[in-house]
Amino acid sequence: MDKKETLKSMRSGKRRLIQVYAALLYNAHIRGFIKGNIYTGNTKIACVPGLNCYSCPGAVGACPLGALQNALASSGKTAGFYVFGILILYGLIFGRTICGYLCPFGLIQELLYKIPTPKIRKGKVTRILSYLKYVILAVFVFGITLWFGLYEKMTVPGFCKYICPAGTLEGAVGLLSNPANSEYFDLLGIIFARKLIIMIFLIILCIFCFRAFCRFLCPLGAIYSLFNRFNIIGVKVDTSKCNGCNACVRNCGMDVHRVGDHECINCGKCVDICSQKAISVKAGSITLKAHYDGEVVGKKRQTFERITQFIALAVLIFALIWFNFLDPSIKKENEAIDLNQETIMQDSSENNPDKAEAEIPIGYEVGCKVKDFEIKCMDGESFSVAGSVGKPVFINLWATYCGPCVKELPIFEEFYNKHKEEIALVAVHSSLIDDDPIEYVNESGLNIPFAIDSEDDTVWNAVGGSSTIPQTIVLDKNGVVIYNKLGSINLDLLEALYTQAVGE
C-alpha cells in the first residue's frame, strides 16, 4: 500500500475511532461489568446522544429514547421539557450524524456486517422497509406509552419493553452474564424470551444486511432523521460541482435517495467516492472532511487535530477514573458492602432459651439482621426496624415508573388490611423520582404506609436494594431476614411468609 492509500485508510479509520470512543465514554462505569450492577450516580439523569441502554452495567447516562418514553408516560402530570429539548438540540446540531458516529449499537451492527458472508443488496424492498421505523416510533414509542400513561396510570415504555435489541443486549444480557445476578433468571418471562428472539434475529440479519436495525426499526434514528435537512454537522453537497453521476447513492449502504436525505447517517463514505469533489462533511462553514487526493494537511490543521485528540483522550481518562474510583455513588456502594459484613452480639431467638447470645450478622441476606433505619412516611408517621420488633416486618421497594411494582401494590393493601394489627409494613419508593409518587399514592386511594427513600438511599442500602424492582424483604419478629427477593409477589406467598415470620 502506497503512502496515499495509507493516508486515505487512516482518514476512513477516524470514524471508527470516534465510534469506539463514544461507546467507551457512554459506558465508562467499567466496575459495573465486574460487579454486575448499574451506575446510579448523578450523571444518569443526562441523556447521551446515541442508543445506549440505561440498564447497561457500564452506562453513565440515560438513553434518550427511554427518557422520551418516561416523559410521555408522565403526560398530564409533568412536562418532559428537558427530554424533548435535548432531542431537538441533538437533532439540530447532529441529525443522523449521531447514528453514523455516536451510536454504540450502530458500531455493533457495522462490526457484524464485516463478517464475510453473502450480503443482501439494497433495493426497492429495503427502501420500503426503511419507513417501518416511523411506524415503530408512532406505535411503540408514542402510542403504547401514552395509552398506559394516560389511561392506566402506568409507565410502560413500549419500545424498550417489547422490542429494543440494544436494551436486551446491553442491559439484560450485560447483567445476566454476571454470576452475581443469577437470581435475576427467576424474573424472566415470555416478554424477555420474545425480546431475546428479536435480538438474535437482528444480530443474524445485521451480518447479511448493512445496519438492518438502523435502517428498518430504530425509532431514535427516525426522530433524528427529521432534522437531517437542518443539522449543523453533516454531509453537504456543492451542487455547482455535482455532475449527477449518482455514484454516492449507489455506493451508500443506507437506503438514501440522495446525499443528506432522511436516511443518510452522514458517515462521509460518499466524500471519498465523489470524483467531482462535490461532497464534504461540514460543521457550519468549517470543513471537517473533504475529498482526499493526496493533499498535504497544513500545520495548523495538524496542530488543531492533535490538540483535539489530546483533549478527547484526557476526557476519557478522567471519565474512567471518576466513574470507577472517585464518584460519590461508589462510596455508597462500598458502605453497603461493609454493612453486610459487620457482625454484632445479641440475644438469640425467643424460641432458643438455652442460648443467651448468638452472632447474627448485620446485613440483608436471609439469616442476617437488617441495620436499623428510620424513615418518615407520607402520612407523617415514622417507620423504623427497631420500633417494629415483636412484629413481622414487610418492606416493599417500588417506583411509579415500574409497571410490575404498581400492579402488586393492591396485593400488599389487601394483605395489610387483613393483618394490620399484627404486622409492620412499608412500601418505599426509590429515590430516583421520575413521576410524583405522592400524587400517585393520593390518586390511587391505597391506604398502606408509603415512604420515599432518602437521597443517600438509606433504606435501599440497608436491605440490599438493587436497580431492579419490585423487591420484597420480610423480617421475622426478631428482625431477622427470612425473605429478600426481586420480582413480583402474590397474596398466597405473603400469607406463607407471614406464617413463617410469626413462627406458626
- For 264-289, the DSSP string reads -----HHHHH-TT--EEEEETTEEEE
280-305 pLDDT, tens digit each: 999 998 888 888 766 555 677 788 88
The confidence band for 339, taking pLDDT boundaries of 50, 70 and 90, is very low
Q: Are 271 and 262 in contact (CB under 8 A)?
A: no
- pLDDT, mean of residues 1-28: 77
E strand map for 208-356: 233-237, 279-283, 286-289, 343-347
Higher pLDDT, 335 or 131: 131
Across the chain, how many H-helices and E-strands are there?
A: 23, 12
At residue 431, does pLDDT exceed 70? yes
248-274 pLDDT, tens digit each: 999 999 999 999 999 999 999 999 899
The confidence band for 133, taking pLDDT boundaries of 50, 70 and 90, is very high
- pLDDT, mean of residues 432-457: 84
- pLDDT, mean of residues 433-455: 85
Q: What mean pLDDT, rounded, does the chain reach? A: 87
Dihedral of CA atoms 163, 409, 364, 389 in degrees, nearest 10, equals 180
At residue 340, does pLDDT exceed 50? no
- pLDDT, mean of residues 48-77: 87
| d(C-alpha 207, C-alpha 216), whole Å | 15
| d(C-alpha 123, C-alpha 255), whole Å | 8
State residue 261 phi and psi, 5-degree precision. -80, -170
Secondary structure letter of residue 26 according to DSSP: H
pLDDT at residue 356 in the model: 36
Per-residue buried b or exposed e for 362-387, using 16+ beta carbons within 10 Å of the residue's own CB: bbbeeebbbbebebebeeeeebebee
Residue at 224: amino acid letter: Y
At residue 434, does pLDDT exceed 70? no
367-419 pLDDT, tens digit each: 898 889 999 999 899 999 988 888 999 999 998 878 788 889 999 999 999 99
| d(C-alpha 156, C-alpha 133), whole Å | 19
Residues in Cβ contact with 89 at an 8 Å cutoff, skipping those fewer than 6 apart: none
At residue 354, does pLDDT exceed 70? no
Query: How many Cα atoms are found within 13 Å in the side-chain-facing hemisphere of 328?
Result: 6
Burial class (CB in 10 A: 0-12, 13-18, 19+), 314: exposed
Percent of the chain with pLDDT over 70: 88
Q: List the one residue out of 105, 65, 81 whose CA is nearest residue 224.
A: 65
Structure-block grid coordinates of residue 449: 404506609
At residue 83, does pLDDT exceed 70? yes
Structure-block grid coordinates of residue 187: 424474573
Higher pLDDT, 70 or 101: 101
pLDDT at residue 342 in the model: 47
Domain 332-502 classified CATH 2.30.40.10? no
84-121 pLDDT, tens digit each: 999 999 999 999 999 999 999 999 999 999 999 999 99
Secondary structure letter of residue 170 according to DSSP: I
Q: Are 472 and 398 in contact (CB under 8 A)?
A: no
pLDDT at residue 351 in the model: 45
Sheet hosting strand 471-475, strand order edge to edge: 450-452, 424-429, 393-398, 471-475, 481-486
460-492 pLDDT, tens digit each: 888 988 777 889 999 998 889 999 988 888 899
- pLDDT, mean of residues 47-55: 94
DSSP-H helix ranges across 168-268: 174-176, 190-208, 212-216, 219-225, 247-250
| d(C-alpha 355, C-alpha 348), whole Å | 7
Q: What is the largest CA-CA distance in the chain?
A: 97
Q: SS3 of 471, please?
A: strand
Q: Which residue ranges make up each domain of the chain?
A: 18-228, 232-295, 299-326, 332-502
Q: For residue 450, what are the β-bridge partners?
A: 427
